[in-house]
C-alpha cells in the first residue's frame, strides 16, 4: 500500500501550560519526518457559558489553558526549518484584521514562508461576544476580515470599506513571503462552506471526513468561480490511526492528513508521534 511521496502528514494539539511545550513538540515533529504542526485558538472561556460544547461532553480544560497560537508557532518556527506551521483554527471573529494581518505576515516571514492560516468562526457565542463580535453575523465578519487582510498583504497602500471592516489607505509591513499571503484553509462543515471556500480560501480542513456528496458540492462551487478542486488543499483533521482507514481518506482526495495529539506531557505525546510517523512511512511506502 503505497501512495505518492507528496502525501503530507501532520499533527495538531492544544499547547497548554501543563503539556509538552511548543518548542520541544515542534522539534520532535520535524525530527520524525512529519510535515506539519497545527495549533488551535481560544483566548479564554467564559465561566458562565450557555453554548453547548460541540463535542457533546463537558468542555475539556485545555480550551482555557491553551497558549496563544501565534506566540507558540513563532517559537516553533525559530527551532525548525522544514515543517509547515498552521492555525487549526484561528478564530478570525475575535481578532482585529489589521493586527492579525501583521501577525500572519510576520510569522510567514520568520518561518520563511511555512505558515498556513486555518480559520473558522467559532462555536462559543459567549466567548466571541466578549470580544464584541456578533454570533449571528460571524461569517459575514470573517469574510470581510479575510478580504481586508488579503488587501493588506498584497497592496502597498491597502484600504477596505465594508459593513464590518472599514479603513482608509494604510501602510503595513512586512508583507508575507508567500505570494498573495499564506494559504487560507477553512475549518467548517456547514452547507455554506463550499461557497466560502470558492470565494476566498485555498483549502478545506473538515474534521473526520468528507460526508456524502460534498466533493461534488465543492467542485460545483469552485467551478462557478472559475476554479478547480484539484488546485485546492484538502486537509483532514482528526485523521484515523489505521493504515486502511488512512488509505480510504487519501482515495477520497485528502492530500494532507492531520492526527490529533492529546494535551499531555512528553512521555505520552512522543510515543504517539513515533506511531504516527510510522503510519506515514507505511502509507508512503
pLDDT more than 70, % of the chain: 98
Quick check: 250 pLDDT over 60? yes
117 SS3 class: strand
pLDDT of residue 209: 77
The CATH homologous superfamily of the domain defined by 8-284: Luciferase-like domain (3.20.20.30)
- Tabulate helix, strand, coil % of the chain (nearest 5): 40, 20, 40
**For residues 209-221, average pLDDT:** 89
d(CA 261, CA 269): 7
**For residues 12-20, average pLDDT:** 98
What is the largest distance, in Å, between two alpha-carbon atoms of the chain? 55
**Helix ranges, 155-265 (H):** 193-200, 214-224, 243-252
- Check: CB of residue 127 under 8 Å from CB of residue 64: no
Q: What is the mean pLDDT of the chain?
A: 95
**For residues 30-55, average pLDDT:** 95
d(CA 187, CA 199): 15
d(CA 186, CA 89): 8
- Check: CB of residue 98 under 8 Å from CB of residue 170: yes
Quick check: 211 pLDDT over 80? no
Q: Which residues have a Cβ under 8 Å from the Cβ of 96 and sit 6 or more positions away? A: none
d(CA 114, CA 77): 8
Quick check: 215 pLDDT over 60? yes
Separation of first and last alpha carbons in the chain: 7
Q: Measuring CA to CA, which residue among 71, 102, 65 is closest to residue 87?
A: 71
Q: Measuring CA to CA, which residue among 269, 259, 285 is closest to residue 28?
A: 269
Q: Indicate the pLDDT class of residue 131, thresholds 50, 70 and 90.
A: very high
pLDDT of residue 213: 87
**For residues 186-208, average pLDDT:** 95
Q: Indicate the pLDDT class of residue 3, thresholds 50, 70 and 90.
A: low
Q: Indicate the pLDDT class of residue 284, thresholds 50, 70 and 90.
A: confident
pLDDT of residue 219: 95
pLDDT of residue 4: 60
Domain boundaries, the chain: 8-284
Q: Indicate the pLDDT class of residue 56, thresholds 50, 70 and 90.
A: confident
Residue range 66-124, pLDDT digits in tens: 999 999 999 999 999 999 999 999 999 999 999 999 999 999 999 999 999 999 999 99
Amino acid at each position: 500500500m503505497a501512495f505518492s511521496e507528496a502525501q503530507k502528514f501532520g499533527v495538531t494539539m492544544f499547547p497548554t501550560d501543563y503539556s509538552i511545550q511548543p518548542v520541544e513538540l515542534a522539534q520532535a515533529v520535524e525530527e520524525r519526518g512529519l510535515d506539519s504542526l497545527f495549533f488551535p485558538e481560544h483566548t479564554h472561556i467564559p465561566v458562565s457559558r450557555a453554548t453547548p460544547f460541540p463535542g457533546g461532553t463537558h468542555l475539556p480544560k485545555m480550551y482555557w489553558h491553551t497558549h496563544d497560537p501565534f506566540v507558540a508557532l513563532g517559537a516553533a518556527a525559530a527551532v525548525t526549518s522544514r515543517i509547515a506551521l498552521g492555525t487549526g483554527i484561528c478564530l478570525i471573529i475575535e481578532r482585529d484584521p489589521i493586527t492579525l494581518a501583521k501577525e500572519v505576515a510576520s510569522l510567514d516571514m520568520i518561518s520563511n514562508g511555512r505558515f498556513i492560516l486555518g480559520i473558522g468562526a467559532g462555536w462559543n457565542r459567549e466567548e466571541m461576544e466578549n470580544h464584541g463580535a456578533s454570533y449571528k453575523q460571524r461569517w459575514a465578519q470573517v469574510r470581510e476580515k479575510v478580504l481586508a487582510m488579503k488587501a493588506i498583504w498584497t497592496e502597498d497602500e491597502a484600504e477596505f470599506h465594508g459593513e464590518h471592516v472599514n479603513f482608509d489607505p494604510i501602510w503595513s509591513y512586512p508583507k508575507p513571503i508567500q505570494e498573495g499571503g499564506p494559504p487560507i484553509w477553512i475549518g467548517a462543515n456547514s452547507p455554506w462552506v463550499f461557497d466560502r471556500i470558492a470565494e476566498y480560501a485555498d483549502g478545506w480542513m473538515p474534521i473526520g471526513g468528507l460526508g456524502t456528496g460534498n466533493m461534488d458540492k465543492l467542485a460545483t462551487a469552485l467551478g462557478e468561480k472559475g476554479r478547480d478542486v484539484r488546485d485546492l488543499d484538502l486537509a483532514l483533521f482528526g485523521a484515523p490511526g489505521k493504515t486502511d482507514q488512512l488509505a480510504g481518506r487519501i482515495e477520497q482526495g485528502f492530500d494532507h492528513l492531520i492526527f490529533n495529539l492529546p494535551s499531555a506531557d512528553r512521555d505520552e505525546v512522543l510515543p504517539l508521534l513515533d506511531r504516527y510517523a510510522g503510519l506515514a512511512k507505511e502509507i508512503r511506502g
